[in-house]
Structure 1
Amino acid sequence: MTSEASGTTEIPKIISVDDHVIEPAHLFETWLPTKYRDRGPKPLTAGIGGLERVASKYRFTTDPNGQLTDWWEYEGNLFPYKRIIAAVGFSRDEMTLDGITREQMRKGCWDPKARLADMDLNHVEASLCFPTFPRFCGQTFAEADDLEVGLACVRAYNDWMVEEWCGDSGGRLIPLCLIPLWDVNLAVAEIKRNAARGVRAVTFSEIPTYLGLPSIHSGYWDPFFAACEETGTVVCMHIGSSSQMPAASPDAPPAVEASLSFNNAMASMMDFLFSGVLVRFPKLKLAYAEGQMGWVPYALERADDVWEEHRAWGGVRDLIPHPPSTYYYRQIFCCFFRDKHGVASIETVGVDNATFETDYPHVDSTWPHTKRVAEEHVGGLPPDVVYKLLRGNAIRMLDLDFDK
């Protein structure tokens, strides 16, 4: 439908494929089996201190005089919540790396009923949420010393996600589950366990080798990809799910990393296009979260040129039978929320390949102005394209019941 007064297409209710959840303090006490609770994650509230370097990693310390902050303690390590990951409701100048408590956050960050109310305020019908404390694809549990407890934590998180966070939402909160990254057979079992109760999305690392895991070229992950294909489970990869963000100079300000954040999604997509994974698993679906899409047209052009001109010495002559863009248009979804260049190139990006997000409650979130942002980006496009970008492609990607 097009508004005659403005000449712009009416904006349908949005389905966001990339939002985030702040885990409630009771999660592991409630959902972790009793025998693991003493060794599982525990919530605490304390002042936040500075950073210290321990065994090549940076860790936060507590300080009784520091900003009051909610944390998780797990295997002797401390994980604070910071304001930039619960930024909705704050001004841009207040969106800092300071610690924050759940009480100081907008309640929709961690309470499902409040989240639904905030979605109503934001013209959003449904939302897929990535984790925070477990990190984007469950790295926290993969790095644990006690992987028996780590596995129990993965399952506990998934049970909470399906039964509590999404359970009473009428399908508006869409479950996104973790896998135990350290064991592909356990990962397959978890995919099937969750698919049996209707889960159709799993989070995975964009570049698993950055986590010390086998590459997608090795064949190690093929049973995982096969299980996802068999169950219709979408492999969702968020920027930063490799625990590294691209940068230039080592002393560059964080703004450089923020500006280059799409690079990991582009590198990951090239990896998949030339891996043979999408050839072997033609019904597997990949989704890139928060990577935007303005880079996609040239990436596809370059990939096809390399395949055409360099496939023999490039090692893909017998591996990739068709131009790489073939597999992108068939099996890969990108997503955007501020990308006018990508929208201007939407025919090449793919009107059937792009989805939308709000990034609630992160510093980049468009809440509560997402409808206006969507109008500014896609309001001039044909109604059928607007529908696909803002909800239709997400419905098809995740096999949702909306509009059926």
Structure 2
Amino acid sequence: MATAALDRPSTRSAYTVIDADTHLTEPHDMWTRRAPASIRHRVPQVKMLNGQRCWVIDGDKSIGTGAHPNSAILKDGGKVRVLDDFLKLQFEDVHVGSSSLGERLQVMDECGIFAQIVYPNILGFGGQAAAKVDADLRLACVRIYNDAVAEMQADSNGRFFPMALLPWWDVKLSIAETERCAAMGLRGININSDPHLVALDGETIPDLAHEHWYPLWEACEGLEMPVNFHIGASETSIDWMGQQGWPSLTRDLRSGISGAMLFFNNGKVVANLIYSGLLDRFRKLKFVSVESGIGWVPFMMEALDYQLVEIAEGRSFEKKPSEYFQSNFYACFWFETGQNAADMVRKVGVDNVLFETDFPHPTGLYPIENLEGRMGDLTHAEKAKVLGGNAAKLYRIPV
């Protein structure tokens, strides 16, 4: 059942709030409206497939059975919190602000949010769904998405900042697209976290620590484009329903466990990047762990420091593993609240934490109640950094 239309307490704040993880419910004509006639029938679009409404690519490949809008916020502002009801929603049922810039800005005003960092849905959180089609179509779909969101950013008057998708299957194309998107004003990239687990066009792709990727990291460092890893940013890391919960649990409870375990999957990405030694070469490169929470970070960093000594004696880097998090990483949180949140922020590093809502996804914060109270006993200066200052600096957002 849907929660009734929600009362919206005042969320105005003394702080400039930048929401570091939100999503765009892609309009049904996002690709078809911009595609050349020669491929218009092949780009992502909503149509009937095997008797069911679906997001389809290349005419007959489903990349979204049911054409779900990936929004839990209803037109009247109510929020759906029951999994089976959420899965029945259609584009026409959900808040227009999920997909339309004008209405999104209104929601942001209601919630006291100055700016949002924005991630995709349909092509995958890391663009992984593009792997279903040939290379030319893959590239066209990524470029059209980036063109569309760059238009939205330009129209937002400095408030809506989508992260660019990359043609992650080809490092040269990825560099070119990063440069193109930076020229359009986009402020960061979003990439598949596990390209090495994908074989495309008869070839395997090296993992992100391999020197194969050094030219991309050099470009990102030079252009000040943060590299964002959203949870579920590969076919192997995303698991909403299946493998984490035991079979005797109901589907909604299994989904809850799977969603929580996705947060820890980003720890694997962070750990591999640190142990790769990559950051002794690209000292100014910035990475963001998106929608992962922050509570796991202190434990993971302590464990990496310990394991390096106990398991890999003789291996060394310029710094301790935990120190690389301080210099090169950020993590986003939303559900950790109160004094627990304040303690975790300080353990992770006040300069390394971003605040997010995950709007309009089902486990996100909407509305944001008692925003400053969620920060526990953080000082005024600490709250200012966490709620917006860190994101403004990282993504070069004038405030």
TM-score, normalization by structure 1: 0.85
- Following the alignment from structure 2 to structure 1, what is the Cα–Cα distance between the partners of residues 268 and 129? 23
Aligned match of 2:193 in 206, 215, 223? 206
| Aligned residue-pair number | 367
Contact 2:293 2:335 in 1 (8 A): yes
Contact 2:169 2:195 in 1 (8 A): no
* Identical positions, percent: 29
Cα separation, partners in 2 of 1:351 and 1:82, compared to 1, 3 Å: farther
Cα separation, partners in 2 of 1:385 and 1:20, compared to 1, 3 Å: same
Contact 2:126 2:233 in 1 (8 A): yes
- Following the alignment from structure 1 to structure 2, what is the Cα–Cα distance between the partners of residues 278 and 167? 33
Cα separation, partners in 2 of 1:196 and 1:83, compared to 1, 3 Å: closer
Instruction: Please name the residue that 2:175 is paired with.
Output: 188
Residue 86, structure 1, aligned to residue 86, structure 2: no
Aligned match of 1:133 in 100, 118, 122? 122
2:218 maps to amino acid = A
1:240-279 deviations in Å (ceiling 9; x for gaps): 0022246446636222212212111111110011011111
1:279 maps to amino acid = D
- Following the alignment from structure 2 to structure 1, what is the Cα–Cα distance between the partners of residues 245 and 110? 41
Contact 1:293 1:336 in 2 (8 A): yes
Aligned match of 1:329 in 326, 330, 333? 326
State the SS of the aligned residue for 2:32: helix
Residue 19, structure 1, aligned to residue 22, structure 2: yes
* Alpha-carbon offset, residue 11 of structure 1: 5.0
* Alpha-carbon offset, residue 113 of structure 1: 0.4
* Alpha-carbon offset, residue 229 of structure 1: 0.6
Instruction: Please name the residue that 2:286 is paired with.
Output: 285
Aligned match of 2:233 in 208, 223, 241? 241
Cα separation, partners in 2 of 1:248 and 1:111, compared to 1, 3 Å: closer
Cα separation, partners in 2 of 1:345 and 1:25, compared to 1, 3 Å: closer
* Alpha-carbon offset, residue 10 of structure 1: 5.3
- Following the alignment from structure 1 to structure 2, what is the Cα–Cα distance between the partners of residues 27 and 10? 34
* Alpha-carbon offset, residue 337 of structure 1: 0.3
Instruction: Please name the residue that 1:385 is paired with.
Output: 382
Residue 158, structure 1, aligned to residue 163, structure 2: no
Contact 2:18 2:113 in 1 (8 A): yes
* Alpha-carbon offset, residue 188 of structure 1: 0.3
1:282-322 deviations in Å (ceiling 9; x for gaps): 11110011000011111111111223344336xx33xx222
State the SS of the aligned residue for 1:334: strand
Residue 71, structure 1, aligned to residue 55, structure 2: yes
Contact 2:69 2:90 in 1 (8 A): no
Cα separation, partners in 2 of 1:71 and 1:216, compared to 1, 3 Å: closer
- What is the Cα-based RMSD across aligned positions, in Å? 2.2
Residue 375, structure 1, aligned to residue 372, structure 2: yes
Stretches of structure 1 that go unaligned for 5 or more consecutive residues are 1-8, 47-60
Instruction: Please name the residue that 2:273 is paired with.
Output: 272
1:386 maps to amino acid = K
Contact 2:168 2:195 in 1 (8 A): no
- Following the alignment from structure 2 to structure 1, what is the Cα–Cα distance between the partners of residues 116 and 306? 37
Cα separation, partners in 2 of 1:20 and 1:358, compared to 1, 3 Å: same
Aligned match of 1:149 in 117, 137, 161? 137
1:339-377 deviations in Å (ceiling 9; x for gaps): 133431322200000001110110011112x252x3332
Aligned match of 1:101 in 80, 84, 90? 90
Contact 2:42 2:57 in 1 (8 A): no
Stretches of structure 2 that go unaligned for 5 or more consecutive residues are 1-11, 200-204
Cα separation, partners in 2 of 1:71 and 1:100, compared to 1, 3 Å: farther
Contact 1:200 1:231 in 2 (8 A): no
* Alpha-carbon offset, residue 176 of structure 1: 1.1
Residue 29, structure 1, aligned to residue 44, structure 2: no
* Alpha-carbon offset, residue 12 of structure 1: 1.6
Instruction: Please name the residue that 2:363 is paired with.
Output: 364
Instruction: Please name the residue that 1:53 is paired with.
Output: none
Instruction: Please name the residue that 2:45 is paired with.
Output: 42
Contact 1:129 1:176 in 2 (8 A): yes
* Alpha-carbon offset, residue 236 of structure 1: 0.7
- Following the alignment from structure 2 to structure 1, what is the Cα–Cα distance between the partners of residues 359 and 99? 11
Cα separation, partners in 2 of 1:245 and 1:101, compared to 1, 3 Å: closer
TM-score, normalization by structure 2: 0.86
Instruction: Please name the residue that 2:348 is paired with.
Output: 349
State the SS of the aligned residue for 1:237: strand
2:184 maps to amino acid = R
- Following the alignment from structure 2 to structure 1, what is the Cα–Cα distance between the partners of residues 278 and 29? 39
1:358 maps to amino acid = T
* Alpha-carbon offset, residue 327 of structure 1: 1.2
Contact 2:189 2:228 in 1 (8 A): yes
1:227 maps to amino acid = A
- Following the alignment from structure 1 to structure 2, what is the Cα–Cα distance between the partners of residues 336 and 101? 28
Contact 1:379 1:386 in 2 (8 A): no
